[in-house]
Structure 1
């Protein structure tokens, strides 16, 4: 029997920001003897607490949480590095007889843990040269250059950073960046639970959350992080709310404008998250506002556990035959 056949499925709680993923992950961990593994790229950063809605110690209810506060704001998040670290963390949790509950709305990071997904290497010198050429020639010239070697990526990617990465990969490997995109094939047993709610309810929750962040001191948090190099961070500086509130720190905007701009940006981001996760037919969608949400989610997990046990039994029978 392969090692993966003896393991319980990794539980992943996914969905848009503001849907209650962190709370459900804790509920599942408490019910199943589990530990939570963060897959929200922006919650990797120390000090980015209010603006990322990072779960607090009281909200964790004694459940161990992993891969929070592991980067400085100047450091760039890497999906490939996260894949290695997260898979090692999940393996350690399972080796101790606990259940791993992955939670986050960063779709590619979730798939990096769950799916068969290969990451090509990187070369800082090559990337720096392409970035310099991109600054000199402009976005459309960059897109035309990418289209010549990888029309799929050229048609799908919309920002300079990712197009630079695609060109870097092609130069280093001779393969189009799009050829590395994953198929929907789990690397090990997994079950995904998606949280959904209607657009009006989600928009209201997101607006209320941004106002709570502002009241809780998001401006002060951004001011503190600005002194630690937030502006120079490739990943951290693009976080929702932080760019908007940085302009308040710099005297270029008002607090009220920053709040409204963050609400709009957060709604747009939630829409993109839903588009990403809804494209995956393996996600079991549940109503985020259901009063028995935790019980429903436990039912999904138990069904997946039963299916995994049956599969393991069939595999053992085949090997014994």
Structure 2
């Protein structure tokens, strides 16, 4: 006679691998990811790891919607304010640092909530993702060739050397074509051999937030207005004193590039606000396109802005994942 089936585990319970799954909260900007991450971290007694590339920068607070310390509810946050604006943010460096944080959190017996909208950074932290080396000289030469010959010529070259990668990269995406050719030249291997797979390195549950398009656009517009009213121009002016203009990554951040133009006198503040909102809406569309194909994401509608209901839906999704993990564990014979 077999015993009664085991009770469904609490979401904080360890998975079959022995590790409690990392909870990831992803999706487009202005969908409420930070608030949900805080709510989950409180309930799970967890620590938060940032996966927003621009929030890595010290001093870039207003324009990145970074939560100020007094709004973090005493919850430990990692991968915030770790770069100067003159430094380049790279996926490889982030992967190493974020994984070290996740391992350290787990080693202390704590849970981790990864939150952010930078899709490749989320995957770098969670997935089996090999990041090939770079060579600035090779990259510069290929970029010059793309400028001189045109993107389609380089895409044909990629198709000849790595048809699998060429089939997944549009000819118009010159940056990715150049990157693929750079990797092939440096490593002697096809770029497609290092393209990411949707496979978690350690157990994880991915929650995605989505908001109806019209509502999201309104939220973005309001957020942009609040940023400028809160002093985005003044924040940018202070960052210029710390070398923002020389920052390869930071100077191109949405909002900051427009504020630089205002300070340079090439754009009015009214036009800068409009351009910032438009660029943010386009960015949100790209984020949607990035996350949408991933079948592992449990999507939650955050259109109504009801945080209590959203938290309960998220908790239910995490609980269901824990049950699913438990159901696939081998049961000892009686």
TM-score (norm 1): 0.91
SS of equivalent residue, structure 1 residue 156: coil
| 2:296 is the counterpart of 1:279 | no
Of the structure 1 ranges 175-184 and 36-45, higher mean CA displacement relative to structure 2 is found in 175-184
Label 1:160 to 1:45 Cα distance change in 2 as closer, same or farther (>3 A).
Answer: farther
Of the structure 1 ranges 145-154 and 256-265, higher mean CA displacement relative to structure 2 is found in 145-154
In our comparison, the structure showing a higher alpha carbon Rg is 2
Label 1:220 to 1:163 Cα distance change in 2 as closer, same or farther (>3 A).
Answer: farther
| 2:199 is the counterpart of 1:185 | yes
Instruction: Tell me if the contact between 1:45 and 1:73 (Cα under 8 Å) persists in the aligned partners.
Output: yes
Give, in angstroms, the shift of residue 180 of structure 1: 1.8
| Residues 47-196 of structure 1 aligned to structure 2 (within 5 Å) | 47-151=59-163, 153-154=165-166, 155-156=169-170, 158-196=172-210
Instruction: Tell me if the contact between 1:22 and 1:103 (Cα under 8 Å) persists in the aligned partners.
Output: yes
Instruction: Tell me if the contact between 1:8 and 1:305 (Cα under 8 Å) persists in the aligned partners.
Output: no
1:46 alignment partner, one of 50, 58, 69: 58
Instruction: Tell me if the contact between 2:26 and 2:208 (Cα under 8 Å) persists in the aligned partners.
Output: yes
Within 1, Cα distance between the matches of 2:146 and 2:301? 44
Deviations 1:59-118 (A, max 9, x none): 211110000011111211111221121111111111111110000001111111111111
1:221 alignment partner, one of 220, 229, 235: 235
Give, in angstroms, the shift of residue 145 of structure 1: 3.9
Deviations 1:160-215 (A, max 9, x none): 44333222101012233233222211111110111111111100000000000000
Label 1:137 to 1:110 Cα distance change in 2 as closer, same or farther (>3 A).
Answer: same
C-alpha RMSD of the superposition: 2.3
Within 1, Cα distance between the matches of 2:176 and 2:243? 22
| Residues 240-251 of structure 1 aligned to structure 2 (within 5 Å) | 240-251=254-265
| 2:278 is the counterpart of 1:237 | no
- Structure whose residues are more often helix by fraction: 1
Return 5+ residue gaps in structure 2 as ranges: 1-14
| Residues 240-319 of structure 1 aligned to structure 2 (within 5 Å) | 240-288=254-302, 289-290=305-306, 291-311=308-328, 313-314=329-330, 317=332
Instruction: Tell me if the contact between 1:24 and 1:294 (Cα under 8 Å) persists in the aligned partners.
Output: yes
TM-score (norm 2): 0.87
Label 1:175 to 1:61 Cα distance change in 2 as closer, same or farther (>3 A).
Answer: same
2:42 alignment partner, one of 7, 30, 39: 30
Within 2, Cα distance between the matches of 1:36 and 1:275? 25
SS of equivalent residue, structure 1 residue 12: strand
Of the structure 1 ranges 207-216 and 136-145, higher mean CA displacement relative to structure 2 is found in 136-145
Instruction: Tell me if the contact between 2:151 and 2:171 (Cα under 8 Å) persists in the aligned partners.
Output: no
Within 2, Cα distance between the matches of 1:39 and 1:181? 20
Label 1:230 to 1:141 Cα distance change in 2 as closer, same or farther (>3 A).
Answer: farther
Deviations 1:12-57 (A, max 9, x none): 0011100110111010000001000000011111111111101111
Give, in angstroms, the shift of residue 159 of structure 1: 4.7
Within 2, Cα distance between the matches of 1:309 and 1:91? 23
Instruction: Tell me if the contact between 1:4 and 1:188 (Cα under 8 Å) persists in the aligned partners.
Output: no
Instruction: Tell me if the contact between 1:9 and 1:308 (Cα under 8 Å) persists in the aligned partners.
Output: no
Of the structure 1 ranges 156-165 and 114-123, higher mean CA displacement relative to structure 2 is found in 156-165
Q: How many residues align?
A: 316
SS of equivalent residue, structure 1 residue 276: helix
